[in-house]
Homo-oligomer: A and B are copies of this chain.
Amino acid sequence: MSTQPKNTPCELCASRKYSMFADLSEQQVCTISDHKNLISHRKGQILYYEGTKPLGIFCINAGVVKVYKIASNGKEQIVHLAQKGDFLGYAALLGEENYTNSAMIVEDAKICFIPKEAFLNTLLSNTQFFKRVTKQLSHELGVMEEKLTDATQKSIRERLAYVLLHLASTYGIEGGDNHKIDLVLSREEIASIVGTATESIIRLLSEFKKDNLIELDGKKIIIKDKRGLARLSDFYA
């Protein structure tokens, strides 16, 4: 992992305003900044592996990271896609356990590593920040419970429709009525998000395309009929 100590300081970081650092005082941001390292950032690079010991947290400045678990059958389940402003690995740190998941860069990224001590010191000396982090953690727990419920109670078709809408709202770029998902994911990765076989995703995407719900622009997906997907995603919504 190539590291370039003290690259862009956090004070000047553009993605800070999207992050949990947004409310830190200038002084505290500087303390963090003094200890951080910018690490690189190529697609496919691993930030950490499940089962290893966390030594700090990762703060995403740019790019996209998939957080995933490998099931006992060897298949990958993506539990979260993280982007600029997101923190990674703090749950393991705060839970005082080894990483319970792994993280890999899926879109070239700039990521800062903040050592455990710097992060925890800031946390403990700044209750507001501690509350902010805990708030995020609580929110993520609710999201995960929702995903579990969807996984057991919804069909693959419904889940894919939902995932596409969600990706569009997070990575979408406008184009009139259309929303292009500005993120390249392989069919296999989409399958890992939905939690199904790659072939099922390929088939369903073909079906969605045939039904004029989506359109394909190279590797990227364009949402043509948001309302239609929303209807598909949830029978009762």
Interface residues of A (CB under 8 A from B): 69, 71-75, 77, 79, 90-97, 100-101, 124, 127, 130-131, 133-135, 137-142, 144-154, 194-196, 234-237
Contact = CB atoms under 8 A, between A and B. Distances in A.
A97 B145 CA distance: 15
Contact of A130 (B92, B130, B152): B130
A151 B130 CA distance: 32
Contacts of A195: 148, 151-153
A69 to B, nearest CB: 5
A145 B144 contact: yes
A49 to B, nearest CB: 15
B145 A71 contact: no
A79 B154 contact: no
Q: Which of A92, A94, A153, A196 has the most CB of B within 10 A?
A: A153
A106 B23 CA distance: 42
Contacts of A133: 134
A195 B77 CA distance: 17
A229 to B, nearest CB: 15
A141 B234 contact: no
B139 A141 contact: no
B235 A150 contact: no
Contacts of A234: 72
Given A95-B135, A135-B95, A73 B235 contact: yes
Nearest to A196: B152
A73 B236 contact: yes
A228 to B, nearest CB: 17
A79 B152 CA distance: 11
Nearest to A94: B138
A236 B72 contact: yes
Contact of A151 (B100, B135, B148, B236): B148
B97 A139 contact: yes
Given A71-B150, A124-B127, A152-B194, 11 more contacts: A69-B146, A72-B237, A73-B236, A75-B153, A91-B141, A94-B134, A95-B142, A97-B142, A141-B144, A144-B148, A147-B148
